[in-house]
Amino acid sequence: MPVNIFKAFALGILQGVTEFLPISSSGHLVMAKEILGWEGPTLEFDVAVHLATLSVILWAFRREIWEIVKRPLSRKTLLVAIATVPTASLGLLVRTYFKGAFSSGTVSSLLLLLTGVFLWSTKSFNGVKKEGETSMLDALLVGLAQGISTLPGLSRSGLTISTGLLRGLDRKWAGEFAFLLAIPVFLGAGLLEARSFQGNLPSIGAGMIGAFLSGLISLNSLMKWLREGKIHRFSFYCWGVGLGFLVYKLLLGH
């Protein structure tokens, strides 16, 4: 569905907010399609705003990324590599065998409720593990969480950060690690889908600007709330939206 410049900017803002806050951007999109009968933006627009949110991560964690570039054999690089393997493998399996979940608002709402449970489970956790104390098993489990979060309704940031916290990672490091893991995922998906890129450049540009600006604010806010131990509060939002959609479906009788 083509979008004009103003609508593109608004959609970009929405993407930037939901991509970083632990509320599942893909789940919101699936539920919105069912409620509004909306087909969603074009593939080109979707790729563009995802590349914009990738740019937010690259900017926000530029020092950590530069450290990896300078020391490609460092422990941090190893942990990211270990976590990326199960992410790619599980993500491919999910997309292959659970295709129906990607168009079901009911499934998305149920998984959003589960995201809320994950977030709430971290309420009392304040680990002490830094990069040097993070084990390969920790990295593997966080990578698996990222792979399963391919399903709409399961928040990628919510699951990866929650898994890190439950494994005893320090709050700041849990957030940093979760978003470093997102880089190869976002980059790979963007390059794969960009092969057939054809689009309205002004609208796409507006969407990218909206996504970058809102994404930068959202990511900085999330990291602040994470350090303060407040990330579990997003559970209420996830439960509210998930239950609200299920009630909507029940009232409509389908």
DSSP for 161-208, written as a single string: HHHHHHTTB-HHHHHHHHHHHHHHHHHHHHHHHGGG----HHHHHHHH
pLDDT of residue 44: 73
Q: What is the mean pLDDT of the chain?
A: 89
pLDDT-above-70 percentage for the chain? 91
Check if the beta carbon of residue 70 is closer than 8 Å to that of residue 36.
no
pLDDT of residue 197: 56
- Which two tokens mark 101? 């979940």
Whole-angstrom distance, CA of residue 138 vs CA of residue 168: 9
- Per-residue pLDDT, averaged over 82-111, amounts to 90
Per-residue model confidence as pLDDT tens digits over 100-109:
888 899 999 9
Residue 206 confidence (pLDDT) above 60: yes
- Per-residue pLDDT, averaged over 81-87, amounts to 94
Closest CA to 42 of 197, 183, 149: 197
Q: Which amino acid is at 54?
A: L
Q: Which amino acid is at 23?
A: I
Whole-angstrom CA distances from 214 to 8, 11, 22, 146, 202 are: 13, 11, 15, 23, 18
Whole-angstrom distance, CA of residue 175 vs CA of residue 219: 10
- Per-residue pLDDT, averaged over 217-241, amounts to 96
pLDDT of residue 101: 83
pLDDT of residue 1: 47
Whole-angstrom distance, CA of residue 248 vs CA of residue 208: 32
Residue 187 confidence (pLDDT) above 80: yes
Non-local (6+) Cβ contacts of 80 within 8 A are 68, 139, 177, 180, 181, 184
- Per-residue pLDDT, averaged over 219-234, amounts to 96
pLDDT of residue 171: 95
Whole-angstrom distance, CA of residue 195 vs CA of residue 12: 21
Domain span including residue 188: 5-252
> What's the structural domain count of the chain?
1
Spell 13-26 as b/e; 16+ CB within 10 A means b.
Answer: bbbbbbbbbbbbbb
Q: Distance from CA of residue 218 to its chain's centroid?
A: 12
Among the listed ranges 3-12, 165-174, 201-210, which one has the minimum average pLDDT value? 3-12
For the whole model, what pTM was predicted? 0.92
Residue 152 confidence (pLDDT) above 50: yes
More confident: 196 or 44: 44
Whole-angstrom distance, CA of residue 195 vs CA of residue 166: 38
Residue 196 confidence (pLDDT) above 80: no
Tokens 């993070």 appear where? 134
pLDDT of residue 39: 66
Residue 2 confidence (pLDDT) above 80: no
- Per-residue pLDDT, averaged over 187-194, amounts to 68
Whole-angstrom distance, CA of residue 89 vs CA of residue 11: 30
- Per-residue pLDDT, averaged over 103-120, amounts to 95
